[in-house]
Structure formats: structure tokens, C-alpha cells
Amino acid sequence: MISDDYKIVIRADKRPRGEHERRFNAPQIDEVAVVIVDNENTSRDIIVQRRRKGLQRIAETHRSYDALQYPLIFLHGEDGYHFNIKQIHPKNGIETNKKVTSKEFYAYRLMIRDNEVYNHILNTRRLFQQFLVDMYAKIEAERMLYIRLNQKKLRTEEYIHLRDAIVNDGNIDDIGTMVILPSSYIGSPRHMHEYTQDAMTYMLDVYNRVAKRGLPHSHNLIWLHDKIYPTDIDKIIQAEFPNPQNDPELYNIVVKT
């Protein structure tokens, strides 16, 4: 049963297993933040009472959502973001077939322009900060909705780890409704894994160039069973000169190159 009685406990020394230790750090400074208590398929809509027509739900992607949520910022009831805004060609001013995303819309609204004397949104102080956090949550919600509704385009059935989980576990009922986050979603595990692979590619590219110059080197890709901490790096990876007495030839090569 949904309840408004919530208890939030932030513990800096606890983190989910398999995640980076700093990904779920407790806040260190007093800044604007947002905590969205959400259940599956729920939204942050506005309910308004229409004259003689009962209640009406205004979704966060409705053109009137911003004006209803922030009447002090949008005094004249200006339209906010909605799905049917088309991009304008910068040269001829004609609408294109591409639609404007929520990120592009709010970036355009918050931009400081040379020919603009005053942008009232940027001067609403703490309400402006709340507006930024709320719109960022809207942008993330739109991205997640698009991913959830376009799983077939992402070819989620081709993901190896998902197939392996089904084969190994044997009970697909425990998996539930899977929504695969692609590597294009910033911050997702696949996004971080792609960054790791890119870093390895860049390192190998640099090593190959060094090898062409004749310098000695080695390629190593090591997967550890237990994760290590930054303070343990020096215990595992070391760079030192060879012993000049035990191996003088190697010592001379290293010192020379």
C-alpha cells in the first residue's frame, strides 16, 4: 500500500555489492538535491479541479505543467515543454521533422544571449534551483520512458549477460520485467563498461606507438576476483629499476631508454 510515511537513512559506510564505493556516497555539502520516492509506472503529475467537469490530470510532459507547477516564474501561463515541439532550421526558419527533446528545450530557455537584456528565470533565486532540479528529473524520466518503450530497437534479446542469467538461473519468473539500459544512457553499468573498454583501447594504441620506437613494454589485462581500493594499488603495481648487480644488462637498458 502506498504511504507518505517514509524514512530515509543515509550511511556513508554502506554500498550495494558490486558497485563503486563512491557511487553512493553520502552528501558532503549542503546543496540543492532531490529525492524522488517512486513506484513502478507512477508519475509526478498535477491534479487540477476544472469548472463543473471534475478533476483533470496534467502530466509532466503537458504544455501547461510548468506554468501550473511554478506560477511565480511563469506569470503569464507560458507553454512549457511538450512532445510536439519541432526543431527549426537555423538558416531558413522552417520546421523540420525532428522533435525537440526536453533537454534541448530547457537548455534553450536557460541560455544567456547577447541580445537578451533580462532572463527572469535565472533571477528567481531558490525557486530557480528547485526548477532546475525538477526539470532535470523530467529530462531523466523522459529518457527512461523512451528506453522502456523502445526495447525492441535496442535489441535487448541479444544481450549475452541476460541470456546467461536465464540459462544459469533457470527460472525466468524471478527476473521480472527487464528494462535494459544501453551504453548511451550516461551512468548506466554498460556506459561505464564501455568507458573501461575505450580506456583499454587508448592504452593499447599508445603502447603500440611506443613499441614502434623500440621501447620495451608489455600488454596486461587482469581481472581480479576481489576488488581493490586505491590505497592498495602500490602494493600490486610497482615501477622500479632492476637490480644493477643481479641483472646489469637489463638495468642499463632501462636507465638508457
Residue 34 in domain: no
Residue-range definition of the domain harbouring residue 237? 222-256
Query: What is the predicted pLDDT for the residue at 48?
Result: 78
Residue 65 in domain:
no
pLDDT tens column, 104-151: 999 988 888 777 777 888 888 888 988 998 888 888 888 888 888 887
Residue 247 has a CB neighbour count (10 Å cut-off) of 12
The verdict on residue 228 lying in a domain is yes
Number of domains forming the structure of the chain: 1
First to last CA, the chain: 69
Q: How much is the pLDDT for 11?
A: 63
Q: Give domain status of residue 166, yes or no.
A: no
143-166 burial string, b = 16+ CB within 10 Å, else e? Answer: beeebeeeeeeeebeeeeeeeeee
Q: Which amino acid is at 98?
A: K
* Backbone angles phi and psi of 97, in degrees to 5: -80, -15
Is residue 93 in a domain? no
The ranges of the chain with pLDDT < 50 are none
Within a domain: residue 230? yes
What local confidence, expressed as pLDDT, does residue 246 receive? 92
Report yes or no on 130 lying in a domain.
no
What whole-number distance in Å separates Cα of residue 139 and Cα of residue 103?
6
pLDDT score, position 180:
77
HSE-up of residue 222 (Cα within 13 Å, Cβ side): 10
Query: Does residue 8 lie in a domain region?
Result: no
